[in-house]
A and B are shown apart, each in its own frame.
Chain A
Amino acid sequence: MEEKELDLWKVAVVGALSLVFFLGLWEIAVRAGLISAFFLPAPSQVVQRGGQMAAGHRPVLLGDVGSSARRVMAGFLLSALIGVPCGLVLGTSPWVRAAMNPVISILRPLPALSWIPLSIIWLGIGEKQKYAIVFMGCFASVLVYTTDATLRVNPTLRLAALNLGASRFQVLRHVILPGALPDILSGLKVVLAIAWTCVISAEMVGATGGLGFRIWTGKDLSDSSQVLVGMLCISVTVLVLDVAFRGLERLLLPWQKRGRGP
């Protein structure tokens, strides 16, 4: 039997209660001495440390969130700006596909981390190197998601447009792009999460700011609270971006039924 979906407010209430319960359990476990605060500080300690980092005598937290977010967006947007048009061409031309697939197959399995040594040799450890890491981590995925999305567009729609007198370019602009857009956007949502893992790795290896740097120096100072504050900031930022992305989807895809899919 299929279970009925819950009302939105019920989902919110149950979710909030579960979060409070989990955090409470954690807090009690630390205060009762079941867990050493050195290894895992209590939520209250993390919040306190977060407050210091955000508004204490050396406020660094917002700056860190800002630099990481800027690096993510720069690398991600660059990969989307180049990757989506290239993917559309790959999806519509079997010849280009045949020519490019071997190259993509070699690039795609490389983790962003494996680009860090080369990128440092080429670009040093400045901002450009961070953008490059995010770009290299995202580009191949954007390409593959876009190509697959293009190939899934109903071929009859292509015929219908040609039958109405569309040129090859008009088919691309008015049929292939809007037809593939829903799948491209869900692909980009996955890629945005990849971009965050890229930037955190890059900041841990060579940087003077950003959430990855802050987490890594927390480890050097044996300050677990600082590590947890950094991790929490990643979660929150990604959540905020995800909500923003959903808004963008609703804006760009008014024809799609709401509430379908995850």
Chain B
Amino acid sequence: MSDILIRAEAVTKVFTTRRGIVEALKDFSLEVHRGEVVCLVGASGCGKTTALNLMAGFLAPTTGRIVLEGREIHGIEPRCGMIFQSYALFPWMSVLENVSFGPRLRGVPRAERQARARRWLERTGLAEFQAAYPGELSGGMSQRVALCRALANEPEVLLCDEPFAALDAMTRQVLQEELLRVVQLSGQTVVFITHSIDEALILSDRVVVMSARPGRVRATYDNDLPRPRHLDVQLTERFLELKRQVWSLVEEEVGRALSMAASKAGH
């Protein structure tokens, strides 16, 4: 087995809000190996995003720890590149400036960082938009730029927080295919959050189903669909079989989440 790149060790995260104390994650443990694509799926409010924010260092665990390459992380971790659902591109920077921003922060000379950025833009078919500002791009193009920006910074782990959820179905499929291609090409380690089981099965080596709140790992499925993979993998027998398995478990957790919400509302 390949080595473990990032690991969550019995992480609990408790939020104190005005309405009281919320336990978002309880005893959450996960190991991600180098070069692996892991998809976290679960009902909304199950703590998926919290788990990702902990891995990025945006949040600190209440108990437990996050370990990257054998060392516990403290604070925001640039080796864990994040893709936000809202793209989070800098509106005052051109596409090229956005993509070369990470290397710029580390003092990479202008010519070198722009050449690196252009390579990524070419790979995703965005070369002719390098001078455009984010305000002039569609959602799908914006998320591609965000992907380039994260990858040009050469992260150890790519963290994706439902990056395609705000896109229309067609664009989403194109971007899934693109991410698949890029990941298969570079061997990038990815932790990907989604509420779409189809998306999880298309992209992942492993699907992790989370329980309703407080979030824990409910079950893990090894995704043995063959690679290199394309979108038409969705039409295979094995895909449907895996989907049925994952869905039965997710359905159970969604039901639990709903009944929990109902009983809370009843009080």
Contact = CB atoms under 8 A, between A and B. Distances in A.
Give the interface size class of chain A: 20 to 34
Interface stretch (A32-40, A105-113, A158-166): A158-166
A162 B57 CA distance: 10
A165 B106 contact: yes
A165 B90 contact: no
Interface residues of B, number: 25
Interface centre among A162, A164, A170, A179 (most CB of B within 10 A): A164
Contacts of B56: 163
A178 B92 contact: yes
A165 B133 contact: no
Nearest to B76: A162
Contacts of A23: none
A253 B92 contact: yes
Interface in B187-219: none
Interface centre among A160, A179, A253 (most CB of B within 10 A): A160
A159 B88 contact: yes
A191 interface: no
A255 B133 contact: yes
A164 B84 contact: no
Interface in A153-211: 154, 156-157, 159-167, 170, 174-175, 178-179, 181
Given A165-B106, A179-B90, A255-B135, 17 more contacts: A156-B84, A156-B88, A159-B84, A161-B90, A161-B101, A163-B56, A164-B78, A164-B149, A165-B78, A166-B105, A167-B105, A170-B105, A174-B105, A253-B92, A255-B92, A255-B93, A255-B94
Contacts of B153: 164-165
A245 B176 CA distance: 46
A156 B77 CA distance: 15
Contact of B90 (A175, A181, A254, A256): A175
A166 B93 CA distance: 15
Interface centre among A157, A163, A179 (most CB of B within 10 A): A163
Nearest to B88: A160
B71 to A, nearest CB: 17
B61 interface: no
B35 interface: no
Nearest to B53: A159
B78 A163 contact: yes
A176 to B, nearest CB: 11
Contacts of A175: 90
B82 A163 contact: yes
B47 interface: no
Contacts of A4: none
Interface centre among B94, B101, B133, B134 (most CB of A within 10 A): B101
B102 interface: yes
Contacts of A181: 92
Contacts of B133: 254-255
B86 interface: yes
B88 A164 contact: no
B101 A164 contact: yes
A58 interface: no
A257 interface: yes
B91 interface: yes
A166 B102 CA distance: 8
Contacts of B149: 164
20 contacts: A154-B88, A156-B86, A157-B90, A159-B82, A159-B88, A161-B90, A163-B77, A163-B78, A164-B78, A164-B105, A164-B153, A165-B105, A166-B105, A174-B90, A174-B105, A181-B92, A253-B92, A254-B133, A255-B92, A255-B94
B42 interface: no
Contacts of B90: 157, 160-161, 174-175, 178-179
Nearest to A167: B105
Interface in B121-142: 133-135
Given A156-B88, A255-B91, A163 B76 contact: yes
Contacts of A156: 84, 86, 88
B81 interface: yes
Contacts of A254: 133
B107 to A, nearest CB: 11
